[in-house]
Structure 1
Amino acid sequence: MNGQIDWAELFFSSTGRTARGPFLLATAVLIAIAVLYEAATGPTLRWFTGWIVYPGLLFSGCCVLSKRLHDRGRSGWLAAIIVLALIVAWPAPSGFVDFAFSLVILWAAVELGAIAGEQGANRFGPPPGRAVQA
């Protein structure tokens, strides 16, 4: 990789690592797609087409989260907990369980959006943007 983002790999593969910048950009793209879809479709059309759109967004979101978690040295399976927290607590937490899931979302925002990835290679591969040296 020569500093270029491989968009297909970022959105459709959960292996490897991704840096903070591409992660934040991919997250913004996924949120924008969801917001535009919600705004452009009515409830009836959304009921019919949502069975295709939402699983695609969910899959892509899990791939992006997994790659960023790998960059932080964490298991990609934590993406399942983060996505569950988003589903349960979004858009407005109302009870104790929602509050607990909101803490998970806060942790994920800090861990993945604010803290840099591990400097060297880890069990998930070399740092993003660097070629594998043989």
Structure 2
Amino acid sequence: MRGEVLTYDDSPGTGLISGDDGARYAFSRSDLQQLTPIRAGMKVDFVPVDGAATQVFITAQASAATGYTPGVAGSGASFDWRTLFLNASGRIGRKDYWIGIAALFVANVVLGWLPLIGFVVSLASIYGGVCVASKRLHDMGKTGWLAAVPYGVYAVALVFSAMAFIGGIVSTASYDNDFGVLTGLGGAMGLWGLALLINFAFVIWLGVTEGDRADNAYGPPPQPLANF
């Protein structure tokens, strides 16, 4: 039977097809017979089984009249910011990753000049950073939970630097001893330096590693979010 894709959400990998018989059929990523990314408006051929579409073949691309499709280059938007920073599902390539990292870096530098409001907004930007890293990890075929690694490293550095600072003071047997303060401060700074180095390496790793060229558990190869 022939039909047209009504909806497709790459996050759960499910969608709906409107058949030529007027009925709607659900389908999943595993029903697709091609590696071509699928989206609303595409013409397909499928085998209906108990109200579901199986063996789905794409027979024609979506018409340009369908308008803007998030995350699809040349579909009417210069950049899909919402998908990049507010959606942790799906995959992105290296170009979109670096654009996202650069935007977050500039935003945090600007927010650093603001008082309390800037600090609160910069905390909210953490979610955007997790979304960007998560999608890049998905493109590499890895779980998005690894995006929590930088924040885990900072948390560990915070705990151990506090312990090193207090330990340096206590080891001198005097809280008024300047040497103890300097010793503790040196240990804390060393741990923070190591944490920064680890997280810098993590950012570079995500930015230079090639993604999977074929479909993986997180969807088909990503279309660029940036149309430039």
Which band: TM-score by shorter chain?
0.7 to 0.9
- Please, which runs of 5 or more residues in structure 2 have no aligned partner? 1-71, 159-187
SS of 1:82's equivalent?
helix
Aligned 1:1-134 pairs, distance under 5 A: 1-2=72-73, 5-39=79-113, 41=114, 45-46=115-116, 48-51=117-120, 53-85=121-153, 88=157, 94-96=189-191, 99=194, 101-102=195-196, 104-129=198-223
SS at match of 1:79: helix
**SS state at 1:77 partner:** helix
The 1:5–1:19 alpha-carbon spacing in structure 2 relative to 1, beyond 3 Å, is farther
Does the 8 Å CA contact 2:112/2:119 hold for their aligned counterparts?
Answer: no
The structure richer in strand per residue is: 2
Give the deviation of 1:104 after TM superposition: 3.4
Q: Which amino acid aligns with 2:212?
A: E
User: Structure 2 vs 1, CA of residues 24 and 57 (structure 1 numbering), >3 Å: closer, same or farther?
Assistant: same
Structure with the bigger percentage of helix: 1
Of the two structures, which has the highest relative contact order with CA contacts closer than 8 Å and spacing of 6 or more? Answer: 1
Deviations 1:45-78 (A, max 9, x none): 32x5523x02321010000010111111111111
Q: What is the DSSP-based 3-state SS (H/G/I as helix, E as strand, rest coil) of the residue aligned with 2:112?
A: helix
Distance 1:68 1:20 in 2: 7
Residues 111 and 119 in structure 2, CA contact (< 8 A), matched pair in contact too = no
Q: Does structure 2 conserve the Cα–Cα contact (< 8 Å) formed by 1:62 and 1:83? A: no
Distance in 1 (CA, whole Å) between partners of 2:125 and 2:92 is 18
Q: Secondary structure at the match of 1:94?
A: helix
CA-based RMSD? 2.5
Task: Answer yes or no: is the 8 Å Cα contact 1:5–1:22 preserved in 2.
Answer: no
Q: For 1:68 and 1:14, locate their aligned partners in 2 and report how far apart those are by CA, in whole Å.
A: 10
What's the CA shift for 1:113?
1.0
1:119 and 1:84, CA in 2 relative to 1: closer, same or farther beyond 3 A?
A: same
Give the TM-score normalised by the residue count of structure 1: 0.75
| 3-state secondary structure, aligned to 2:221 | coil
- Distance in 2, matches of 1:65 and 1:122, equals 17
TM-score, length-scaled by structure 2? 0.46
The percentage of aligned residue pairs carrying the same residue is 31
Structure 1 unaligned spans of 5+: none
Larger radius of gyration: 2
